[in-house]
């Protein structure tokens, strides 16, 4: 059973930074696409970024490029999302997600992710 546990959410003023972490098992992080999604009230869920075991990171939300960094710590089985220059429009529930990666899978967040964490709230005030 794949388990994902997010941490690191909170409230911050515009321009501030937060780091989200997603902890899972060694088996999961070494065989699955790992991704961060977010969903703001009244909006559709949006793929933010993904990464897989060899460290290939991809950012899918144009609004976060240059501000957010996804990384993977294989020693601690953790995927992190470093968020800088946060803006009120970044306010959302952030979710860690995983799916088993097949050969050639680029971990596109438009594809189905089977496993989800409970989410962590990020609130950015102006």
Q: How does DSSP assign 97-115, residue by residue? A: EEEEPPTT----TTS---E
Q: What is the predicted pLDDT for the residue at 34?
A: 96
Q: How far apart (Å, rounded) are the C-alpha atoms in residues 75 and 100? A: 19
pLDDT at residue 31 is higher than 90: yes
80: Cβ contacts below 8 Å, ≥ 6 apart: 8, 19, 20, 21, 22, 70, 71, 72, 73
pLDDT at residue 55 is higher than 80: no
pLDDT at residue 4 is higher than 80: yes
116 close to 97: Cβ distance less than 8 angstroms: yes
Q: How far apart (Å, rounded) are the C-alpha atoms in residues 88 and 15? A: 9
More confident residue, 117 or 56: 117
Residues 54-76: what's their mean pLDDT? 88
């Amino acid at each position: 059973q794949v388990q994902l546990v997010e941490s690191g959410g909170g409230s911050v003023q515009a321009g501030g930074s937060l780091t989200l972490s997603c902890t899972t098992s060694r088996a999961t992080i070494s065989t699955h696409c790992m991704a961060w999604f977010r969903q703001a009230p009244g909006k559709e869920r949006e793929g933010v970024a993904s990464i897989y075991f060899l460290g290939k990171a991809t950012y899918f939300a144009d609004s976060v490029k240059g501000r957010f960094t996804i990384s993977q710590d294989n020693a601690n089985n953790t995927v992190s999302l470093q968020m800088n220059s946060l803006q009120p429009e970044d306010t959302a529930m952030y979710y860690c997600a995983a799916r088993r990666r097949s050969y050639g899978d680029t971990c596109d967040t438009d594809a189905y992710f089977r496993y989800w964490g409970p989410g962590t709230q990020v609130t950015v005030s102006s």
